[in-house]
C-alpha cells in the first residue's frame, strides 16, 4: 500500500462570527501534497494541532469527530481502488477521486514502470516471508533498471503508459540490451521475460490492459552447454586443502550441493529441523525448494554428512541457527572462480555446476533412476531431468568412440604387422 499521510487543521484566518473556522485536510502521498475543505467547521478555541477533537465530549463535537474519521476512511478506500484499477497515484488524483472529479472506472492509466514498482514491492514482501528468493527479486530490480534506462534513452521520457505500448517497443528493448548494454542473448531474453510478466499481470490479474501488446513475441533461449564436474574433477576438488578459510567454506558448500542438489538459497534456509530420520532408518533432509515450493527430500550421503558435522559448531551457524555458514551468492561465485584456478579445473564454476554434478556424475552415472533424481531435485517435470540423461548418454558415446578409435588403431597396427610378415616370407622364399 502506498504511504498516505493525512492531517486535519483549521484556518483561523477564515473564522466566522461565533468563532467557527473551516476544517481542511492535507494529503501527503508519493512526495506530492494538496489540501481541500472538509465542508465542516468547529470552534477554533477547542481545536489544537495536537488534540484536534480527540478529547471532545459534547455530542456536537463527537459527531464531527466521527465525520472527520469517515473522511479518512473514504480517502484510504479511494486510494486502494485507484491502485487496483491502475490510476496514477499522487495527492491531486486522490483528492479528485474523493471529490468525484475523476471516474474510478477509467483504466489503462498506469505506466510500465509504475506497474513494475507495484509488482516488485509485493515481491519484496514475499521474499521477507520466504515465499520467493532474493535472487529473483534482484532479477526484477535489474530488469526495471534496464527498462528505465531504455525508455529514457530511446524515447526521451521517464515512463510509458501501458495503453501506449506497442509490439515494437519490446523489440527495441531487446536490441538495446544486446547492442548497447552488451548483454548476451539468454540473459537478455530472461530480462524480457521478466518485463513481459509485468504485462501479463497487468492484463490478467489487475485488468490495467485489455490485451497483451507483446503476445506475438517469440524470444527463445539458446541451448547452452551444461557444465558439470566429472568424477576426477570432483575428487580433486574434495581433496584440495586451501590456506584460506573462506575458500574452504565455499568449496564445502559447493560439494554439499554436489551430493544434495540444493541451490544456494535452499541451503541458506536449511536448519537442523530439516534433518529427519526416515522410515528406512536413514537420515534425510526434508524440505521444499524455495524457487518452486516443490518437495525436494534427499538422503544424506556420507560426503554431505561430513560437511554438516564439520560446521555444526561454526559461529555463523550457531548465530543464525543454520545448517551451514552460507555467504552471499555473488561472493560465492567469485570465490568459485578462484577455487577452479587453484584446482586446475578449466571450467566456469558457479553454484549450478554443483547441481548439474549431482544429477550427472553423482546420480545418473551411478545408475540412480531418472524418476528418483527428478524427485530429489524438485523438478516439476521429468523432461527437466531428461536433459541430464542426454549428457550421460553423450559421455557414454564419447567414451565408446574413444574406445573404438583405440581398437581401430590396434587393429591397424596388427594388419600392418601381418602385411610386413607376409612380405618377409615372400623374400625368404
pTM value?
A: 0.55
Q: Which residues contact 336 (CB under 8 A, 6 or more apart)?
A: 250, 254, 349, 350, 351, 353
pLDDT tens-digit profile of 215-262?
888 888 887 778 889 999 999 999 999 999 999 999 999 999 999 999
Higher pLDDT, 400 or 231: 231
- For residue range 344-399, what is the model confidence (pLDDT) as tens digits? 999 989 888 999 999 999 988 888 888 888 888 888 788 777 777 776 666 666 66
* Buried/exposed code over 318-340 (b: 16+ C-beta within 10 A; e: otherwise): eeeebbbbbbebeebbebbeebb
pLDDT of residue 1: 54
pLDDT range class, residue 27, cuts 50, 70, 90? very high
pLDDT beyond 70 at 423: no
**pLDDT of res. 107:** 45
- Average pLDDT value for the chain: 85
35 by DSSP, 3-state: which? strand
* Residue scoring higher pLDDT (330 or 107): 330
Residue whose C-alpha cell is 509504475: 114
Report the pLDDT value the prediction gives residue 58, as an integer from 0 to 100. Answer: 77
Find the Cα–Cα–Cα–Cα dihedral 140, 119, 152, 142, rounded to 10°: -10
Amino acid at each position: 500500500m502506498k504511504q498516505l499521510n493525512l492531517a486535519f487543521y483549521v484556518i483561523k484566518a477564515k473564522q466566522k462570527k461565533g468563532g467557527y473556522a473551516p476544517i481542511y485536510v492535507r494529503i501527503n502521498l508519493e512526495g506530492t501534497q494538496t489540501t481541500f475543505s472538509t465542508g465542516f467547521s468547529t470552534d477554533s478555541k477547542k481545536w489544537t494541532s495536537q488534540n484536534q477533537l480527540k478529547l471532545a465530549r459534547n455530542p456536537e463535537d463527537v459527531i464531527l469527530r466521527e465525520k472527520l474519521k469517515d473522511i479518512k476512511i473514504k480517502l484510504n478506500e479511494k486510494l486502494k481502488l485507484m491502485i487496483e484499477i491502475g490510476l496514477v497515484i499522487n495527492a491531486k488524483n486522490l483528492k479528485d477521486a474523493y471529490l468525484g472529479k475523476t471516474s474510478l472506472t477509467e483504466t489503462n492509466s498506469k505506466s510500465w514502470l509504475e506497474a513494475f514498482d507495484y509488482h516488485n514491492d509485493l515481491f519484496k514482501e514475499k521474499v521477507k516471508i520466504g515465499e520467493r528468493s532474493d535472487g529473483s527479486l534482484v532479477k526484477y530490480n535489474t530488469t526495471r533498471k534496464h527498462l528505465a534506462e531504455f525508455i529514457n534513452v530511446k524515447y526521451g521520457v521517464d515512463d510509458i503508459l501501458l495503453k501506449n505500448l506497442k509490439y515494437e517497443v519490446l523489440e527495441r528493448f531487446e536490441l538495446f540490451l544486446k547492442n548497447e548494454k552488451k548483454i548476451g542473448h539468454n540473459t537478455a531474453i530472461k530480462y524480457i521475460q521478466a518485463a513481459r510478466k509485468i504485462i501479463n499481470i497487468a492484463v490478467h490479474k489487475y485488468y490495467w490492459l485489455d490485451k497483451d501488446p507483446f503476445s506475438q513475441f517469440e524470444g527463445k533461449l539458446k541451448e547452452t552447454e551444461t557444465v558439470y564436474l566429472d568424477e576426477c574433477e570432483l575428487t580433486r576438488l574434495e581433496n584440495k586443502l586451501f590456506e584460506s578459510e573462506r575458500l574452504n567454506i565455499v568449496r564445502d558448500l559447493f560439494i554439499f550441493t554436489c551430493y544434495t542438489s540444493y541451490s544456494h538459497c535452499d541451503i541458506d534456509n536449511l536448519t537442523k529441523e530439516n534433518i529427519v530420520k526416515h522410515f528406512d532408518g536413514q537420515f534425510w533432509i526434508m524440505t521444499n525448494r524455495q524457487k518452486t515450493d516443490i518437495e525436494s527430500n534427499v538422503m544424506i550421503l556420507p560426503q554431505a554428512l561430513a560437511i554438516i558435522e564439520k560446521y555444526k559448531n561454526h559461529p555463523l551457524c550457531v548465530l543464525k541457527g543454520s545448517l551451514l555458514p552460507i555467504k552471499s551468492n555473488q561472493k560465492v561465485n567469485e570465490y568459485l572462480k578462484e577455487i577452479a584456478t587453484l584446482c586446475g579445473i578449466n571450467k566456469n564454476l558457479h553454484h549450478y555446476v554443483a547441481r548439474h554434478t549431482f544429477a550427472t556424475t553423482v546420480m545418473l552415472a551411478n545408475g540412480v533412476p531418472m524418476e528418483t533424481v527428478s524427485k530429489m531435485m524438485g523438478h516439476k517435470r521429468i523432461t527437466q531431468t531428461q536433459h541430464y540423461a542426454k549428457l550421460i548418454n553423450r559421455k557414454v558415446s564419447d567414451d565408446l568412440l574413444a574406445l573404438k578409435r583405440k581398437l581401430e588403431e590396434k587393429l591397424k597396427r596388427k594388419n600392418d604387422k601381418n602385411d610386413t610378415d607376409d612380405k618377409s616370407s615372400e623374400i625368404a622364399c
